[in-house]
Amino acid sequence: MVKVDHAAPAVARDQSALRRDVGLIGLMWASVGSIIGSGWLYGAEKAVVQAGPAAIISWLIGTVAIVLLALVHAELGGMFPVAGGTARYPHYAFGGLAGMSFGWFSWLQAATVAPIEVEAMIGYAAHWDFAKGFQHADGTLTTSGFFVAVVLMAVFVAVNFLGVRVLAHTNSAATWWKIAVPLATIFIVAVGNFHPHNFTAHGFAPFGAKGVLGAISSSGIIFALLGFEQAIQLAGESRDPKRDLPRATLGSVAIGATIYVLLQVVFIGALPLGSFAHGWDHLNFPGISGPWAGLATVVGLGWLSVVLYLDAVVSPGGTGLIYTTATSRVSYGLSKNGYAPKVFAKTDARGVPWFGLIISFVTGIVCFLPFPSWQELVGFITSASVLMYAGAPLAYGVFADRLPHHERPYRLPAGKVLAPLSFVVANLIIYWAGWDTLWRLGVAIVLGYVLLGAYAWYATSKGMPDAPRMEFKAAQWLPGYLLGMGLISWQGGFGGQGHLGLWWDMLVVAAFSLGIYYWARATASRTEQIERSIDEVVVTDAPAH
């Protein structure tokens, strides 16, 4: 068992230590607050357009996939309760190159969510007269909308600067609202407005298996379910991480998935028959740009639509708030591992990584420039997120081999089967996002290698003591993994060349994934290297007293 050296230099407690102020409810609400965001406002409509009533199956498959990944993260979070955990597990298992890579995937995912949630807030606010001029017809921001977006991002950052305790209380209050509104919507809309024949009017699965599977990645299903890892990112600030992290992670997934499946069922059942008379892919009704609020108006619940338009500000706002936190914690973890400048690891008197917050603010401003709208970016964020998650099952397999006696407050049942299975599922989700999304993600990955690689080269050339050790041998599988997934997507039937037929393509992805999984396990860092990496991080993250 790794021990924390509490006598280790409390040097600069205010410079690089996080405060352990967050309890179980704070951790769970951080994850639930991220899961219930703008996804619930759009997901049901986007999924049914792509898959028909079989979108329910899409949600169930997506839930199983997320649960598998969450179970792996629950064990790892209990083993290694450190800030920015998702960016660190691959670092422990495979050394510097893999750690840098998955750290970038993690940061890329976190940094792009907050500005997109802001865009969702502004998009729904366009229902009100004062906000009609904030967006162009294509969903990009006008000049006035841009300034409003900057102000909203500034509010997220300001709340974060007040410290993690204030953040937890603020997010907890917002999350109670975020859970109450969709639950109330489910029951209020269903009463007197549920039509069972809607599920078979044009066939239960009019677009077949391809529609069901494609909806998982590109309609916002996985995007909506993302967020369970926020408790993991705040592990360094948890009062009792070994007990609370597994509970918070699994509890948040259970709450979020239940709400989303019920929302999809009720949305389909409540639609007027005329709204999909020309087929589910031509779904249309007044106010469809704000699906749930529009539906409430159509079925005669105008008062509920007002509540939903208000919620369209609160729900995305709460998610944007917690992802602003996550971005700074991931950059904190990258800095602690030597992949980013030391300034990212400096904290203020409240234990807040202040420079990471500033960079998250700047990133948000960049994202507000005329880039694609919320809907078009869902697939990109989903792929970046799942690519980040994919590092956890790989690391799990290594720790099962190399650290069999390490303390595990939560132990994954049948882990040696579920870990490789979760890696396969993660890669299927990435594949289903489609080639058009994945080539763009590839460009972002290359940009990350340029930025972080340049810093690593600089730190090494200057002989900095914390310069990252790239350890290419332990990560020799990584280039093959990234290039291989790109090649399969390019040749596949989800936006690619179509040379791999349906089902055969998924068989190829599964076989490829298992090959990468066992290759990574075989070439991972040695036990003593892993323990040394863990010792270094546990000491530097020792809680402040």
Average pLDDT, integer, range 199-217: 91
Q: What's the average model confidence in pLDDT over 264-277?
A: 94
- Is it the case that residue 291 has pLDDT exceeding 80? yes
Gap between the Cα atoms of 103 and 98, Å rounded = 8
The pLDDT of residue 163 is 60
Burial label, 411 (beta-carbon count in 10 A; 0-12, 13-18, 19+): exposed
Q: What is the pLDDT of residue 461?
A: 80
pLDDT at 457: 82
Residue 51 pLDDT exceeds 60: yes
Rounded to 5 degrees, φ, ψ at 117 are -65, -35
User: In this model, does residue 441 exceed pLDDT 90?
Assistant: no
- Residue, of 238 and 254, whose pLDDT is higher: 254
Return the top range by mean pLDDT from 114-128, 265-279, 466-480, 531-545.
265-279
Q: How many angstroms separate the CA atoms of 174 and 170, rounded? A: 6
Residue-by-residue DSSP string for 11-61? TTHHHH-----B-HHHHHHHHHHHHSSTHHHHHHHHHHHHHGGGHHHHHHH
Q: Which of the residue ranges 186-200, 303-317, 353-367 has the most confident prediction, judged by mean pLDDT?
A: 186-200
Q: Give the range with max mean pLDDT: 11-25, 207-221, 259-273, 339-353.
A: 259-273
Q: Is the pLDDT of residue 359 over 70?
A: yes
pLDDT at residue number 373: 60
For 127, other C-beta atoms within 10 Å of its C-beta total: 18
What's the chain's length in residues? Answer: 545
DSSP 475-506: GTHHHHHHHHHHHHHHHSSSSS---S-TTHHH
CA atoms within 13 A on the CB side of 81: 29
- Report the C-alpha gap between 346 and 12 in whole angstroms: 9
Provide the token pair at 75.
Answer: 């064990």
Task: Report percent pLDDT > 70 for the chain.
Answer: 87
pLDDT in tens, 298-331: 999 989 999 998 888 777 877 787 778 778 877 8
Angle at 494 between CA 489 and CA 499, to 5 degrees: 65
Alpha-carbon distance of 446 to 170, in angstroms, equals 37
Domain layout of the chain by residue ranges: 13-540
**Average pLDDT in the 91-109 region?**
86
The residues near 465 (Cβ < 8 Å, ≥ 6 apart) are none
Give the range among 88-97, 145-154, 333-342, 412-421 with minimum mean pLDDT: 333-342
Confidence of residue 360 (pLDDT cuts 50, 70, 90): confident
Angle at 170 between CA 313 and CA 262, to 5 degrees: 55
CB 228, CB 31: distance < 8 Å? yes
Mean pLDDT of 398-426: 89
CA separation, residue 458 to residues 108, 213, 260, 465, 473 (Å): 22, 44, 47, 12, 21
Q: Which of 128-132, 150-154, 452-456 has the highest mean pLDDT?
A: 150-154
**Cα–Cα nearest to 537, from 234, 229, 110, 236:** 236
**Encoding tokens for residue 67?**
């649960």
136 φ/ψ angles, rounded to the nearest 5 degrees: -75, 175
- The dihedral region occupied by 163, where left means phi > 0, alpha psi between -120 and 50, and beta the remainder, is left
C-alpha 523/C-alpha 93 separation (Å) is 10
The token pair that represents 199 in the structure block: 């599920």
The lowest-confidence range among 39-48, 168-177, 252-261, 282-291 is 168-177
Residue 21: per-residue pLDDT:
59
pTM here is 0.80
DSSP classification of residue 135: B
* Predicted pLDDT at 211: 92
Per DSSP, the three-state class of 141 is: strand
- Distance CA(28)–CA(436), nearest Å, equals 35
Q: Distance between CA 353 and CA 337 in Å, rounded?
A: 15
At residue 58 the predicted structure's pLDDT band, cuts being 50, 70 and 90, is very high
Token readout for 121 is: 């807030």
Res 165: pLDDT: 61
Asked if pLDDT for residue 148 goes beyond 60, the answer is yes
**Range scoring the smallest mean pLDDT among 11-20, 214-223, 277-286, 388-397:** 11-20
Q: Is the dihedral of CA 214, 218, 220, 221 positive or negative?
A: positive
pLDDT greater than 50 at residue 5: no
Strand partners, 141: 135
C-alpha count within 13 angstroms, C-beta hemisphere, residue 216: 26
**Least confident window among 78-87, 265-274, 347-356, 508-517:** 78-87
> Among 1.10.540.10, 1.10.10.10, 2.160.10.10, 1.20.1740.10, what is the CATH number of 13-540?
1.20.1740.10
Q: What φ, ψ does residue 246 adopt, rounded to 5°? A: -60, -40
CA distance 111 to 323: 7
What is the per-residue pLDDT for 39? 83
Residue 141: closest CA among 312, 293, 367, 319 = 367
pLDDT at res. 235: 64
Mapped onto helix, strand or coil, the DSSP state of residue 238 is strand
Is the pLDDT at 13 greater than 50? The verdict is: no
